[in-house]
Structure 1
Amino acid sequence: MKLFGIPNCDTVKKARTWLADQQLPFDFHDFKKQGLDRDTVAGWLAQQDWEVLVNRKGTTWRGLPDERKAAVTDKASALELMLEYPSVVKRPVLLDAQQQVHVGFSDDKYRGIFKV
């Protein structure tokens, strides 16, 4: 299992704490430091809609020029945006043991994923 995010993000912190409290082992990938590769993001986009993965409420999105935002209209353009600006990805992204992609965190959501 792998959790992708940024360590100082509050939602990522909550997800990491929740997984640790449930004694669920996971690898953490800091995509601010380690980056994101095309295959990883394309894999996410194969399972999740680009509009779920691109955080249009965050500061990174809001800081983009309007023409850059307007250019994000499909999976391909969203992929390029996420590779260029990893912090525009909604966090955290969890790749579970069955290789299913889950975006975001809430206690109820993770309880449902892990049946606890």
Structure 2
Amino acid sequence: MIQIFGMKNCNDTKKAIRFFKDRKINVQFINLKEKEISKGELKSITKTFDIEELLDREGKEFKKRNLEYYVFDTLELLMESPELFKTPILREKDRVSLGYQPEIWKEWIK
């Protein structure tokens, strides 16, 4: 089962869901505004991506909070404010992708 972590208003998350729906592949969508990433899920994601890579420094929320001028613990910040995650985050068994990556996903579903 492919898990998609994201937010309903994120265009890349919508495109990821549509990518699998168009191929008749069921996914589990986890809306980060409603349910946080568990410590276990985050641990498996950070085996592939460093915690710093998960922070969306280009996103509206990061800029709105002027976070570029602050020193913070990235893990703590992401757990408190999931809207700061770079999305979508996809997990399938031990594989993880970050952002809109259709070429990677095509390999997963071969």
State the TM-score, normalizing by the size of structure 1.
Answer: 0.80
- % identity of equivalent residues: 25
What SS does the aligned partner of 2:90 have? strand
RMSD between aligned residues: 2.0
Q: 1:104 and 2:99 equivalent?
A: yes
**Deviates further, 18-27 or 101-110:** 101-110
In terms of fraction of residues, the more strand-rich structure is 2
What SS does the aligned partner of 1:46 have? coil
**Deviates further, 86-95 or 42-51:** 42-51
**TM-fit CA distance, 1:38:** 2.5
Q: Distance in 2 between matches of 1:31 and 1:57?
A: 18
CA offset digits 1:46-89 (Å, max 9, x no partner): 22112321110001111234487422xxxxx3221110110111
Q: Distance in 1 between matches of 2:103 and 2:28?
A: 21
In terms of fraction of residues, the more helix-rich structure is 1
Counterparts in 2 of 1:67 and 1:109: CA distance versus 1, 3 Å:
closer
What SS does the aligned partner of 2:46 have? helix
On the 8 A contact 1:94/1:102 being kept in 2, the answer is yes
Q: Which runs of 4+ in 1 moved over 4 A?
A: 65-68
- Which ranges of structure 1 fall in alignment gaps of 5 or more residues? 72-76
- Which ranges of structure 2 fall in alignment gaps of 5 or more residues? none
State the TM-score, normalizing by the size of structure 2.
Answer: 0.84
